[in-house]
Structure formats: structure tokens, C-alpha cells
């Protein structure tokens, strides 16, 4: 099932059916009522789309239109970042993974390659940073495009100007946030947990064992990292917002984080403050609840907001 912005799903159905938004919403609410409200608006929209004979598979789309759950998508984009091909050996299975980021004029997204034939295109330099590629048969998982042996990727002569190289965050209230979205919210801090600390490999940034050993780089001199969890509320709901070391620095100093005692005054100062937060929404692997991984956090400047509104 597609996961994402209900408004975006509604727009796609309307564009492909010619039916007005008002009529579609009436049909969607009718489906929900028939199922006693046990289905989400997104799920009901999928049923309506199916009844209208609309299939999002194989349609030529823009990156901003992609939603988690879409299959066999057809999209073009310019490669703005090429990553190294990495090898893995996990649970008795080994292989390679290739990845890069593509962009068009609307947004950008990471593409993950699992098929050896696709990966060889990167290894032989047949597709590289700066190339425009056309992808067919890709699946959208966790806000990434994944290509399998049934997918296809090739260079394109298409010219894409003014690509969107920055992550795009959509302004939302907390109650509107779904899984695997980049969101921009304004909310108050109502509770704080942590900080807690862990050690990572200085080479790859992955967590090391208690003995200071990294799976990829062996014995290393680990670096200390922190995690801070905020509960934020915007009046429509509340949500966990997780900050890592780089983001924590936006609101607290290393000295303030040194111990629970030194952080106590900062905790009291932060609670009740309002912040502008850019984050990615994810499902917590343990609780399966929705939470935010914070990318940027800035305290709300009321005077500046008033000035902007006056303009």
C-alpha cells in the first residue's frame, strides 16, 4: 500500500481520472464509512483508485510525486551523488550494493542497486555523476528507489536543468505526518530524555563493540556520540524527535552534555520552548511507533516571524 501524503495521493488520482477533489473525497469517506473507519484515508483512496481503473505502476513520474509502496515506477533524473559500491556478508549471504542520488526539478532521492548487471554499470564507469538516467520498474521503499533484476536503468539524452539538490521538506502539522516523509514542523518541547552515549568507528561511523571493534575496520579508537530524545507538541499531537550529536550541538554545548547534572539546567531551559524542526519520519523498530529523525532544529524567533508576516 502507498504510504505518504494523502494530499499527494488525492492529486494523482484526480489527475488520472479527471474527477474533482471534492467528488473523490466524498467517495473516499464513503469507503471509510462502509468499513466502519477501520481503514486509513490513504487506504480508502487506493480502493477508489482501483475502482476507477487507475494503476500508478509504470507511469512517468516526477520525484516529488513518489510515495513509499509504489511499484514499477518510471522516472528520469540527474545523478548528483555517486556512492562507492560496497560488499556485504550477512546471515550467510554475500553480494554487492550500489547506490547514488538522482534529482529533477522537483526533488531528489536515493537509488539502490542490488542486481550485479546494474552495479557493473557503476564499476565500469558507464553511468557516473552528472549523467541523466532513465529508470523503469523500480520500487519505492522507505523513501528510496530500489532496483531489482526486473528493473532497468540506462543513460538518457534528456536534459534536466535546475535540479533540486537540497532535501525537500513539506510543511505539516504533527497529526498529518505519515511514515517515510521529510517534514517541516513548528512545535514546543514538552519532555526530554537523555542524553545517552555510544561509541562509533571513526572510519565508517557505525557502532563499535564494547571492546572497541568495528565489523568493517577491526580494532579502532572509537569516538563518543550522543543521542537526545525530545517529545514535541504542536497542538494537533505530539511525537518523539530524535537528535544525534550534530543536531544536539544546535541546542546544547558539549560541556552541558557532559553529565546528567550539567545537563539539568539546559533541560529546564529547553522545556516549553518552540522550535522549527526539519526531520524524516520513521517507524521505531522496537515500538513500531512513528518518530522523527531530526536534520535541523532552530528556536523560533517570534520577532522575525512577525516581521516576515508583515512583509
* pLDDT tens readout for residues 217-273: 888 888 888 899 999 999 999 999 999 988 999 999 989 988 878 899 999 999 999
Q: Kind of pairing, strands 132-141 and 93-103? A: unpaired
* pLDDT tens readout for residues 59-79: 688 888 787 778 888 999 999
What is the crossing angle of helices 41-51 and 6-17, to 10°?
A: 10
Co-location of 234 and 263 in the same domain:
yes
Co-location of 175 and 305 in the same domain:
yes
Co-location of 50 and 177 in the same domain:
no
Instruction: In whole angstroms, give the CA distance from residue 100 to residue 121.
Output: 12
Note the residue count of the chain: 311
- Domain-ending residue, one of 104, 137, 166: 166
Co-location of 38 and 136 in the same domain:
no
- Domain-ending residue, one of 34, 55, 76: 55
Flag whether pLDDT at 2 surpasses 70. Answer: no
Co-location of 138 and 228 in the same domain:
no
Cis peptide before 195 (omega within 30 of 0): yes
What is the crossing angle of helices 21-34 and 6-17, to 10°?
A: 120
* pLDDT tens readout for residues 176-201: 887 778 889 999 999 999 898 888 88
Co-location of 174 and 306 in the same domain:
yes
CATH number for the domain spanning 141: value is: 2.40.50.140
Exposure string for 238-262, b = 16+ CB within 10 A, e = fewer? bbbbbbebebbeebbeeebbeeeee
Q: Residue 252: CB partners within 8 Å, gap ≥ 6?
A: 228, 263, 266, 270
* pLDDT tens readout for residues 110-128: 999 999 999 999 999 999 9
Judge whether 99 and 157 are in contact, CB under 8 Å.
no
Q: Identify the band that residue 5 occupies on the pLDDT scale cut at 50, 70 and 90.
A: low
Whole-number pLDDT of residue 248: 93
- Domain-ending residue, one of 151, 166, 181: 166
Beta bridge partners of 229: 193, 242
* pLDDT tens readout for residues 15-42: 888 899 899 999 999 988 888 777 777 7
Co-location of 196 and 131 in the same domain:
no
Co-location of 61 and 45 in the same domain:
no
**Phi, psi for 36 (deg, rounded to 5):** 55, 30
Q: Please report the DSSP string for the chain in residue order.
A: --BS-HHHHHHHHHHHH---HHHHHHHHHHHHHHTTT-S-HHHHHHHHHHHTT---TT-EE-GGG--BT--SEEEEEEEEEEPPPEEEEETTEEEEEEEEEEE-SS-EEEEEE-SHHHHHHHHTTSS-TT-EEEEEEEEEETTEEEE-TT-EEEE------S---SPP-EE--GGG--SS-EEEEEEEEEEEEEEEEEEE-TTT--B--TTSEETTTEE---EEEEEEEEEEE-SS-EEEEEEEHHHHTTT--HHHHSSHHHHHHHHHHHTT-EEEEEEEEEE-TTT--EEEEEEEEEE--HHHHHHHHH-
Count of structural domains within the chain: 3
Question: Which residues span the domain enclosing 10?
Answer: 1-55
Flag whether pLDDT at 153 surpasses 80. Answer: yes
Judge whether 185 and 210 are in contact, CB under 8 Å.
no
Co-location of 194 and 297 in the same domain:
yes
Instruction: In whole angstroms, give the CA distance from residue 78 to residue 131.
Output: 6
Co-location of 65 and 111 in the same domain:
yes
Co-location of 181 and 295 in the same domain:
yes
Co-location of 179 and 306 in the same domain:
yes
Amino acid at each position: 500500500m502507498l504510504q505518504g501524503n494523502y494530499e499527494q495521493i488525492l492529486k494523482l488520482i484526480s489527475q488520472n481520472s479527471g474527477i474533482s477533489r471534492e467528488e473523490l473525497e466524498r467517495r473516499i469517506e464513503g469507503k471509510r464509512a462502509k468499513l466502519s473507519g477501520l481503514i486509513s484515508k490513504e487506504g480508502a483512496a487506493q480502493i477508489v483508485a482501483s475502482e476507477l481503473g487507475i494503476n500508478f505502476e509504470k507511469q512517468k513520474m516526477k520525484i516529488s510525486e513518489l510515495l513509499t509502496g509504489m511499484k514499477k515506477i518510471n522516472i528520469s533524473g540527474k545523478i548528483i551523488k555517486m556512492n562507492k559500491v560496497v560488499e556485504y556478508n550477512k546471515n550467510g549471504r554475500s553480494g554487492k550494493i550500489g547506490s547514488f542520488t538522482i534529482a529533477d526539478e522537483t526533488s531528489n532521492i536515493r537509488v539502490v542497486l542490488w542486481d550485479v548487471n546494474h552495479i557493473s554499470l557503476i564499476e565500469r564507469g558507464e553511468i557516473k555523476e552528472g549523467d541523466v538516467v532513465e529508470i523503469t520498474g523500480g520500487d519505492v521503499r522507505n523513501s528510496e528507489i530500489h532496483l531489482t533484476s526486473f528493473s532497468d536503468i540506462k543513460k538518457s539524452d534528456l536534459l534536466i536543468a535546475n535540479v533540486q539538490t537540497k532535501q525537500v521538506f513539506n510543511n505539516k502539522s504533527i497529526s498529518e505526518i505519515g511514515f517515510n516523509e521529510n517534514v517541516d514542523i513548528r512545535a514546543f518541547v514538552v519532555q526530554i530524555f537523555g542524553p545517552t552515549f555510544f561509541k562509533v568507528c571513526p572510519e565508517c561511523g557505525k557502532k563499535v563493540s564494547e571492546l572497541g571493534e568495528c565489523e568493517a575496520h577491526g580494532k579502532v579508537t572509537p569516538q563518543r556520540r550522543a543521542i537526545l530524545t525530545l517529545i514535541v507538541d504542536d497542538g494537533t499531537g505530539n511525537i518523539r524527535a530524535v537528535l544525534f550529536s550534530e543536531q544536539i550541538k544546535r541546542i546544547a554545548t558539549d560541556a552541558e552534555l557532559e553529565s546528567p547534572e550539567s545537563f539539568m539546567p539546559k533541560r529546564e531551559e529547553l522545556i516549553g520552548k518552540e522550535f522549527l524542526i526539519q526531520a524524516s519520519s520513521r517507524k521505531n523498530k522496537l515500538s513500531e511507533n512513528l518518530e522523527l529523525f531530526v536534520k535541523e532544529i532552530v528556536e523560533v524567533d517570534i520577532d522575525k516571524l512577525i516581521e516576515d508576516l508583515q512583509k
